[in-house]
Every structure is written in C-alpha cells, then in structure tokens.
Amino acid sequence: MESTLERKIKKLFEVRGGKFYKWVSPGVVGVPDRIGLLPGGRIMFIEVKNPDKSGRLSKRQAKEIENLKRLGFEAYVIDSIEEMRRIIDEQS
C-alpha cells in the first residue's frame, strides 16, 4: 500500500534529520504528493506509487515531474523503500 510505503519513507527522512511533508497544491493538477527535505537544503519532490505496481503515473503527473526537473529540482516516482534509500544515499 502507498500509505505503508509513505510511512517508511517518512521514517527514512526523519532518521537522516529531515522532513517528509504531504503536499497539496490547490489549482495545480499532477504535482507530486510529497516533499522530502534533508539537511543542507536538499529538496526532493516525490510521487509515491504502490509497490505492487498497481498505481499508474498520469500524463499530468509525468509532465509536472518533468517540469520540476527542468527547473533543476530533484523529482522522483518511488515505489520501494530501497529505491528511496539509494537515491538519498547516492547524492549525500
């Protein structure tokens, strides 16, 4: 379930001294549903999807993630705690 994965990712950010916020952007469809903040000013926009691959990224979500990347932000679609851990660790 997405909610279980979100809790695990939140704990991962907290253990590393960061925050993992739910983000709602009224009037803008497709923005990633989470913002991960790490010490040193690292900001990540994260769309969490079901680990069983049942969740699909909408065209609007894909476009918004690409827009964020084009602006120079880190933006990811995550479906496992291992993937999130790897991303955090490889750029720390």
Q: What CATH number does residue 66 fall under?
A: 3.40.1350.10
- Say how many domains are in the chain: 1
Q: pTM for the full model?
A: 0.91
| Among 78, 70, 81, 92, residue whose Cα is nearest residue 35 | 78
Q: What is the dihedral of CA 77, 82, 84, 87, to 10 degrees?
A: -110
| Among 74, 83, 81, residue whose Cα is nearest residue 37 | 74
Tens digit of each residue's pLDDT (9 = 90 or more) over 28-78 = 999 999 999 999 999 999 999 988 766 788 999 999 999 999 999 999 999
Residue 21: domain span: 2-90
